[in-house]
Amino acid sequence: MPGHTYTFSTVKEAQARSDFDVLAKRGRRALRIDVGVDVAPRLQALRDAVERALTDMDSSSEQTNGGS
């Protein structure tokens, strides 16, 4: 940003944090993920975690519904 000591990246991060805060205050679901510099393994770890969570949800749902 010409004439300023902060970068565009800093502005983007501030906007994202602000958006997240507004969603949280309004009771909306929000998820912030920092994948860092080494994106591929972090995205794979996220995918694995989501798949585990969905599997757990399916198992819980089947138990609650009597296995149907």
pLDDT digits over 9-42, tens only? 899 999 999 999 999 999 998 888 888 899 999 9
H/E segment holding residue 47 = helix 39-64
DSSP 19-41: HHHHHHHTT---------S-HHH
One-letter amino acid of 26: R
* 2 domain-assigned: no
Query: Is residue 64 scored above 90 in pLDDT?
Result: no
Q: Name the more confident of 6 and 14.
A: 14
- For residue 28, the model assigns a pLDDT of 93
* Banded pLDDT at 67 (limits 50, 70, 90): low
Please count the structural domains in the chain: 1
- Predicted structure pTM score: 0.52
Range of the domain at 19: 8-64
